[in-house]
Amino acid sequence: MTPSAAMREYLAEIYRLQEDSPTVSTTSLAERLEVSPPAVPRMLKRLKSAGYVKHVPYQGVELTDRGREEALQEIRRHRILEVFLVNIMNFTWDEAHEHADELSRGLNNTLTERMAEMTDYPQRCPHGEPIPSKNGELPPISDTCIMNLAVGHKGTISRVRTHEPERLQYFASLNLVPGVKFELVGRAPFNGPMRLRLEREEVVLGAELTKSIWVT
């Protein structure tokens, strides 16, 4: 059974949620997909009968191997489309995710590969997330959230893990984008704000914002 556009969207979101938790609750899935809670069990029933997900009693759902393959293909389409929107169509990175959500529903592999060719076969999306290969393989990732670092650490921003437009606009205004080098020069106690040096400028970030910054 070939998954519908709606099924592909669910599978991709389950994959993203499983990056932070082995199993996914129906509540978190409804919130991320912005659908009504009763709609989620109906779709999960379809996905389960097609062999894409399995239910873990009292915990939630997780992808099967088949579901993971489909999810990675959908994530590939979505992230290549984001690169195309930013690099070719001149959208900003805070606009790309929402447009890609809408456009990827009608995207097939032929169009995806043409966009990959036109953007020089990108390895990462505009937010720094890795793009799966045509075979559904993800390149290894060895970054960490900047919250885990001590004062004095130097490195490079690898990913900005949020799709909230206002936050992305704010990060861009501070030049906190993938590829930028930083030094952690100060940190208030008890999970207080961080002070970062970016080349010759310094910026201060609250704890809530630092959760989105991942670095190498």
Per residue in 29-73, pLDDT (tens digit) is: 999 888 988 889 999 999 999 999 998 878 889 999 999 999 999
pLDDT band at 149 (very low <50, low <70, confident <90, very high): very high
pLDDT of residue 19: 87
Residues 6 or more apart in contact with residue 91 via CB below 8 angstroms: 85, 99
pLDDT of residue 64: 96
pLDDT of residue 15: 94
Which residues does residue 139 pair with via DSSP β-bridges, in sequence order? none
pLDDT over 90 (residue 141):
no
- Rounded mean pLDDT of the chain? 93
- 10 with 43: CB under 8 angstroms? yes
The token pair at 159 is: 């990913």
169 CB-side CA count, 13 A? 5
Query: Phi and psi for 39 in degrees, rounded to 5?
Result: -70, -30
pLDDT of residue 72: 95
- 64 with 54: CB under 8 angstroms? yes
Per residue in 98-130, pLDDT (tens digit) is: 899 889 888 888 999 999 999 999 999 999 999
Query: Phi and psi for 112 in degrees, rounded to 5?
Result: -60, -45
Buried b (16+ CB within 10 A) or exposed e, 36-65: eeeebeebbebbeebebbeeeeeebbbbbe
Residues 6 or more apart in contact with residue 17 via CB below 8 angstroms: 24, 28, 29, 32
Mean pLDDT of 63-84: 96
List of domains in the chain? 1-140 (1.10.10.10), 144-215 (2.30.30.90)
pLDDT over 90 (residue 156):
yes
Higher-scoring residue by pLDDT: 191, 72: 72
pLDDT of residue 138: 87
